[in-house]
Amino acid sequence: MVEAQFIFTKLTNSFRVDIPNLEDLSVEQIQEIQKFVEDRKGIFNFNTYSFIINKNLEYEEFTKLTSVLNIYAECGLNIAYAQPATRVGFGQYKGMFITDVPDSYLLWLKNNYRGEQKQYILDEISKRKL
């Protein structure tokens, strides 16, 4: 069985995990990861092979958690991700940092938002490779 690859990125009030080898995992492994995310009220995005959980968690805590829950994965840390300075000024995520907004909402904004924060949104989409 292939071991999942998790790339952990610490955000301001949440964390994001990319799974570059998602297509190589078994259905059971994907369901296990999906349950892990749902139990923590996170958002799993199959389009970007990633999930976001709105909890403040450090990398070491995340690796311990996956170990305790018997989620077998090779974990890596993404330290190049810049901390945000821009907050969303409108809508349901008003006040949140743009880096903490779910992928689906960013993609919706890309096509529907025309305001002054448009470039920040496009930059974040580019960073996430959406």
Q: pLDDT digits over 26-38, tens only? A: 999 999 999 999 9
3-state secondary structure of 5: strand
CB atoms within 10 A of CB 35: 13
Q: What is the pTM of this model?
A: 0.63
Dist CA 99 CA 12 (whole Å): 8
Q: Is the dihedral of CA 118, 123, 128, 130 positive or negative?
A: positive
CB-based burial label for 125 (10 Å; 0-12, 13-18, 19+): middle
CA distance 75 to 98: 25
Tens digits of residue pLDDT in 66-118: 888 888 888 888 865 544 457 888 888 888 888 888 889 989 999 998 888 88
Number of Cβ atoms within 10 Å of the Cβ of 118? 12
Main-chain phi, psi angles of 123, to 5 degrees: -65, -40
Q: Which residues contact 24 (CB under 8 A, 6 or more apart)?
A: 2
